[in-house]
Amino acid sequence: MITLEDLTEAIKECEGQRSPNANTALKLAAFYTIKKELYPETPTPSGYSYAAPPAESVIEYRSETEFGQAVSGKETTPVMAILDDLMSLLQSAQPRLHKRIISKIQDQ
């Protein structure tokens, strides 16, 4: 049996893809359909599958650092994709540092 956690993770993976294609959209639709059928009590992003995606959120981070100034006012998704790539590189090059950062984020 597919668990709710498996479906949620698969959905997040599809939604987080940098360059989604038709195959990604088909997978996402299938995952949402399965989720709705197996776990009807869980909320979905919208009541209709054809609803517009939620409005993009903007980073409101105030800092005097170069990074803080670079990300302030930017849309979240593209910045997170860049940070995700950085964290993947960090996981290979500095696994202990990667683990500490992930731990700090999870504690928030």
Q: What is the pTM of this model?
A: 0.47
Is the pLDDT at 100 greater than 60? The verdict is: yes
How far is C-alpha 98 from the chain's CA centre? 18
- Kindly state the average pLDDT of the residues 73-89: 89
Q: What is the DSSP letter of 49?
A: T
Residue 15 is predicted with a pLDDT of 85
Alpha-carbon dihedral sign for residues 23, 28, 29, 30? positive
pLDDT tens for 27-64 read 888 888 888 888 887 766 655 455 555 667 888 888 89
